[in-house]
Amino acid sequence: MEIKHIFVVGAGTMGSGISQTAAVSGYEVTMMDVVPEQLERARTTITKSLEKLASKGIIDQQQVDAAAQIAYVDSFATVEQADYVIEAATENPELKLKIYAELDRLTRPEVILASNTSSISLTKIAAATGRADKVIGMHFFNPVPLMRLVEIIRGLATSDQTTATAVELARKMGKEPVEANDSPGFISNRILCPMINEAIFVLQEGIGTAEAIDAVMKLGMNHPMGPLALCDLIGLDVVLFVMDVLQRDLGDDKYRPAPLLRKMVDAGYLGRKTGKGFYAY
């Protein structure tokens, strides 16, 4: 089936970025979120991003105009028209399973349901549908318009055809797809989040300041961003969720979240999105 219309679930940072990238790549895009204010924030974010990319010559006016045609909706009423669905809702297992059961009911049987989840089992998500062979992970990275990687995750029942379609779509969106099997954290967060968590332990133990820890990783390891600044960008709540998943599903206490991380999440210090994390914004 030719993919022309992509339906994106979730208008947060990732949903906005995915919608923008799909639109400038020539796809008709509908972005859905149940919170109208979130849709308006997404519209504003996309407009500013397009202006910035156009000013740098990264995209042309035709692509800017295409992204201006994104439809912003607050229900699944038009999802039956979609040729492909990418879910980028909050990283909450119960919510995602509910969404997939609904998508399975409302979309055409041949439509692939892809998730941008950063850690939840695709096999578990697929089990909430009657089309497990057509459920796959497409893990984009922030900021989506600039980051080239898309981690393609196969669930236990994901078909070769579904995988091939997701890989082709990622390439048409200007991304580099890398395949991974369904395992807690996949490849990216299995490696990244424990590194961030260890940096938080180092801060908690007073071995160095946040600035010192990030400087060491940038200057000594050539990382473009320090782990604590990156944690603020990702969201402390997301990192904590991933670490909890890794510890629980892999059964190894080496993935134990740093107490400071949990304390900061409890306090509402979630990083850039709340204006305060390891740094103030």
Active-site pick, 49, 116, 119, 189: 189
Spatial separation of the C-alpha atoms in residues 222 and 216, rounded to whole Å: 9
Q: Alpha-carbon distance 122 to 251, whole Å?
A: 19
Q: Select which of 91, 139, 188, 197 is catalytic.
A: 139
What is the C-alpha to C-alpha distance for residues 77 and 32, in angstroms, rounded to an integer?
Answer: 10
With contact defined as beta carbons under 8 Å apart, do 150 and 79 qualify? no
Q: Is 116 a catalytic residue?
A: no
Torsion of CA 15, 17, 20, 26, to 10 degrees: -90
Distance CA 193, CA 247 (A): 12
Q: Is 139 a catalytic residue?
A: yes
Residue 19 catalytic? no
Rg, C-alpha atoms of the chain: 19
For 177, the enclosing helix (H) or strand (E) is strand 176-181
Q: Find the helix or strand (DSSP H, E) in which 42 lies.
A: helix 36-55
Q: Quick check: is 223 catalytic?
A: no
- How would you classify residue 254: left for phi > 0, otherwise alpha for psi between -120 and 50, otherwise beta? alpha
Annotated catalytic residue within 28, 87, 91, 151: 151
Among the listed residues 25, 49, 116, 118, the single catalytic one is 118
Q: What DSSP character marks residue 34?
A: S
In angstroms, rounded to a whole number, what is the distance separating the alpha carbons of residues 213 and 141?
Answer: 23
- Catalytic annotation, residues: 118, 139, 151, 189
